Structure 1
């Protein structure tokens, strides 16, 4: 195997592993854990075909979790409040409003703000996906007219 291919394989392995580990951590922390686990798995599966068998089950669970997050107005409101809370916490940590906070500063604050942006982006994506599926189901019913 040429050196260029080896460097690519090692780089993708490291990136995939790091993304997957961050996803695993976010399974218990606020953030899109399952989607990052899926992203890391997809990166790793591009270099290690034996991992392909895990992609579909993880994808199914990640998509189900994304759809569940927008399944009711109450869940959407909860997700929006969580995102706003993360954003506010990021600003509070960043400007060191309370000096007694652990790890006060923009390194922690910016990571909280980025988490809120990711949460909002995934919430919008999930909502659009669920609405598109509903529209598709309505259009496929007998006697219905497409929009």
Structure 2
């Protein structure tokens, strides 16, 4: 048995399960931090579906809804334009996070914010831009597949 075959076998048994759990946990964190949280959680559950029945039952309806939403989103030119404008908006928000301007201090439910943006700087910006890149890839894929 070659080394490559052993690595593939390990990943199919153990590595995919470990990566699935890591993606689910990172997805939960990215729900409140800049990043594609729902996408990370979905990818993790999709990997776990090979190992757990509960995950497989979750993936099927999620996949159907995702395909339905993608078809709906590219059904007309105005919807595609709105999607592109949303992508541009998210890129602009990433630029604001990168520049990290001072904001007024305020409090929500006892949690104080300001004078810096939460997760300000290049780390937050990269997370936002990564989400934007995923949106671009998914939009292009949806247009090519369903238009």
Q: 1:36, CA displacement in angstroms?
A: 4.5
In structure 1, C-alpha distance between the alignment counterparts of 2:37 and 2:87, rounded to whole Å = 12
Paired residues of 1:24 and 1:37 also in contact (CA < 8 A): no
Question: 5+ unaligned residues in a row in structure 2: which ranges?
Answer: 1-8, 104-115
In structure 1, C-alpha distance between the alignment counterparts of 2:70 and 2:136, rounded to whole Å = 12
The structure whose residues are more often strand, as a share, is: 2
Q: Which moved more, 1:66-75 or 1:102-111?
A: 66-75
In structure 2, C-alpha distance between the alignment counterparts of 1:130 and 1:64, rounded to whole Å = 11
> Do residues 54 (structure 1) and 70 (structure 2) align?
no
Counterpart selection for 1:108 from 82, 102, 124: 124
Q: 1:95, CA displacement in angstroms?
A: 2.6
CA shift digits 1:65-114 (9 cap, x unpaired): 11122122222111111111111111221133x23341320011111111
CA shift digits 1:16-72 (9 cap, x unpaired): 13434527966xx98583x54442222001222453333322211111111122122
Paired residues of 1:16 and 1:40 also in contact (CA < 8 A): yes
| Secondary structure, aligned partner of 1:60 | helix
Structure with larger RCO (C-alpha < 8 A, sep 6+) = 2
In structure 2, C-alpha distance between the alignment counterparts of 1:117 and 1:77, rounded to whole Å = 17
Question: 5+ unaligned residues in a row in structure 1: which ranges?
Answer: 132-147
TM-aligned CA distance change 1:117 to 1:56, over 3 Å: same
TM-score by length of 2: 0.66
Query: Pairwise mapping of residues 65-104 of structure 1 onto structure 2 (< 5 A)?
Result: 65-96=69-100, 98-100=101-103, 101-102=116-117, 103-104=119-120
